[in-house]
Structure 1
């Protein structure tokens, strides 16, 4: 009796392709190879004989990618807060996969044989939309694959959307190699990557003329949230004084939530003023009746406050609280949080004047949102700062991914970026995205960071997300071509008439 033949699931290769992308993506040094697995995804979406099979392929690829790329998320939260929150964090992975798979499937359904042309522009719009709304989440955007390459300099022209278009456009060209004029496609690919690489390598040598002091307290975040971390103010003041003995500095930066009392309080302000140095620090907001996560500038008094504008979904605010509040309440109680858990987001971008430095501040999660640093530069910022508490990430890849994504903010704005983390990553990044100094994680200490003050506005700052608008126009144009083709098929009375009409349409388009 013959044994039944083993039939493998049709989406198994897509799981493998997504896993490969997850393994080589940021922060891996092989991330620049991202167009290769994405080319496989584009080809599979395009060639799927049915919408159902294409949907299976797209979701399997996306699920495998995010399973590797975000593997640190349930592990670190489970380690910090227990298995309940670890399990809930695990649900983020299929949700993130849907945010990729559904729009890509819609692209295939809308553009048919033009799918390979439409996919790169769809990716640009998709990643732009993923940064909007209460569930905004930018991890996995294809453009970040170029962070560690000279091609990242293109971000000064069009931000991450331009990098995403280069990566996904290359993927579509690779996917079309076997169907179209491969010498022409190869030439286009080499010209795109070679020209961008050459242009990016022309970045000038950084010449920072100032010094900041980055203070890393290395405070256990769980102990801090439970009031068991001791006198944080004394800890940071002592570390700062030790660092100031090493030489002159123009600015001191403490991390996110460095102290638990607003610096304007009478019990705190005189101690900070006694340091006699411009200071940027994280502390609770001082708006009565509202809980805020804020950054303050202190220089002979409090000179300004930047409230965190983009809050971490489920970490700092409960999205759709009217719907999810009842589900979230038992989880919050098990973690020891109050029933009315949640912060109030800031609404404005405030540039903090600290000596000659006009500092545009992003608080932790905000460093993955390009528009915030862009708004700061438009408001007069001549240096950027990120204050964070990546200790919540644990020892997985989350903190490193967060750091590498934030490096592009320096390139987009052509500003030095000072980054102070509770347990790291503390570093200084020059206006061309190069890490000038990086300090060890998980240690308490103070670190001298060279920086400079920059002026001028890049095309990305001046023209905002022009690449997103261009992508929308491109999709509208492709949609028009697709609609005309459908109308020709419907109106043609014979194959000969159909062919003649298509040839006439192609001739018109070439003109």
Structure 2
């Protein structure tokens, strides 16, 4: 076929498609983009600190309907994601401006670049949307929109080290869908929620087409999804041991501005000593991330003194500290056990710019933000063992690591307790620390284990295996907390399967969309 013949065929196909799916006016296209951006922006309200989970369902529904319109799926999803991450990850601005010593205009620019980058990663799969899904509203609503949404969430869980933040499933920590967490993690909750939205929209469309039986079956499926989640919430996948462990948390509330100043070092040590003295009645006492503002080797005299005190009280201390490996000449963000605790864990998932600088040879020294005092950290090796407190095996995670569902599930395999330490002072009074706490709660639910979280300035908490906080501190306060945990054994299905079921589901949805598009799209399209 000649080039002219190809052009004639393509023109005929385009004309046929436009007659079947009429083009939108510029005003209609603009209104669609605005509605999609707003839907993305309000989706944040479905998660902490608001937890209005129905808004997440509405937001996804708006995006789904937008994708049925003859517009670029990539553009629509990009606009949605810019609104979503623009509100949901707005806390990045605080760390860049307030603690990164960056001017407001430059901090706004850098935050915008960060948000846009996240949006691009999330929208990338939608470049294949029309090729694999086509234009049929039914195919888009039932298969395409849910499948590609899950593809996007899974992609950003690992691409460029990943940013597994702001999954729609987090908003359902207290909804009937929470029962899916131990089975397939937070992404399976997302799957259940968006499939129910798609099926509901399609059932309404079928009612309009007088296909009441099909509409009723889809509506029953939606009810079944939510009822199944509720039933799963009653299943206990793990087993409690007969012992109880008393735990204490020190929330020292050290201002980030003075934390690493040498002149404030003794004040920090004195504060931890005095606050720990209130907690010796506990079996385990936890200090937050990098609690000691110096390298482990320099802090040995103080740590040895506190270790001896812990042993005298038959207690253990687990603390965050920077650890220098002289053999590799690397510095790690670590957790160590002293007193009746033993072991060391080096953080494996690092925060870009906060703990290391990507493209360091070009960026280091250009802005104060690229020279933060902790941006010299090296990642620890994978497959590290947990900490031990007597017979208790503790699965540790440092700060950002707790947002990685499969990482925590893997570390929890042979442990009795989840422990995470953090310093959320970097994000001030933004929504970031509250979202971080919610994600830690989800890790407890996914593994059905108690989780203890110690932070510098809140929220510190004890979380039970259902994801509920049994004890918690307020933010921006200097206080101690005591609670009780029960060691857990056994594994949830998620700890065994991890994201495999969700990957199979979104691939299956996309494959179904691909198989059905020829039957529902105009014949001349092919």
Q: TM-score range by the shorter chain?
A: 0.7 to 0.9
**Larger RCO, structures 1/2 (Cα 8 Å, 6+ apart):** 2
Contact 1:208 1:450 in 2 (8 A): no
Give the gaps of 5 or more residues in structure 1.
Answer: 493-511
Contact kept? 1:177, 1:185, Cα under 8 Å: yes
Of 6, 23, 33, which residue of structure 1 is paired with 2:45? 23
Partners of 1:13 and 1:133 lie apart in 2 by 28
Q: What TM-score, normalized by structure 1, do the two folds share?
A: 0.85
Tell me whether 1:136 sits opposite 2:162 in the alignment. Answer: yes
Residue of structure 2 in register with 1:496 after alignment: none
Q: Which moved more, 1:18-27 or 1:411-420?
A: 18-27
Q: What SS class does the counterpart of residue 49 from structure 2 fall into?
A: coil
Pair 1:23–1:459, CA change in 2 (3 A): closer
Q: 1:66/1:480 Cα in 2 relative to 1: closer, same or farther (>3 Å)?
A: closer
Q: Tell me what 2:65 maps to.
A: 43
Per the alignment, residue 508 of structure 1 pairs with none
Corresponding position: 1:478 with 2:520: no
Residues 212 and 25 (structure 1), Cα distance of their counterparts in 2 relative to 1, 3 Å cut: closer
Bigger drift between 369-378 and 359-368 goes to 369-378
Q: Distance in 2 between matches of 1:370 and 1:78?
A: 29
Distance 1:49 1:485 in 2: 18
Match of 1:405 in 2: 439
Q: Deviations over 1:367-390 (max 9, x none)?
A: 100122212222x21000010001
User: Retained in 1: the 8 A contact 2:332–2:378?
Assistant: yes
Q: 1:279 aligns with which of 294, 317, 322?
A: 317
Shift of 1:328: 4.6
Q: Distance in 2 between matches of 1:151 and 1:490?
A: 42
Alignment of 1:360-399 (within 5 A): 360-378=395-413, 380-399=414-433
Measure the CA separation in 2 of the matches of 1:491 and 1:58. 24
The answer to whether the Cα contact below 8 Å between 2:46 and 2:56 also exists between their aligned partners in 1 is yes
What does residue range 6-405 of structure 1 map to in structure 2 within 5 Å?
A: 7=27, 9-10=30-31, 11-45=33-67, 47-51=68-72, 54-80=73-99, 81-83=101-103, 84-85=106-107, 87-112=109-134, 113=136, 114-116=139-141, 117-180=143-206, 181-200=214-233, 209-231=244-266, 232-244=268-280, 248-259=281-292, 260-262=294-296, 266-275=300-309, 276=311, 277-288=315-326, 289-299=329-339, 303-319=342-358, 321=359, 325-332=361-368, 337=372, 341-348=375-382, 349-378=384-413, 380-405=414-439
Q: Give the SS at the match of 1:267.
A: helix
1:208 & 1:90 partners in 2: Cα distance?
50
Per-residue Cα deviation, 1:187-235 (whole angstroms, up to 9, x for no partner)? 2112211331244257799998321010111111231234343323332
**Secondary structure of 2:343's aligned partner:** strand
Q: Which ranges of structure 2 fall in alignment gaps of 5 or more residues?
A: 1-24, 207-213
Count matched residues. Answer: 475
Q: What is aligned with 2:20? A: none
Q: What's the offset of the Cα at 1:107?
A: 2.9
Structure 1 ranges of 4+ moved more than 4 A: 5-8, 201-208, 263-266, 334-338, 482-492
Alpha-carbon deviation of 1:446? 1.5
Change in 2 beyond 3 A, CA 1:32/1:298: farther
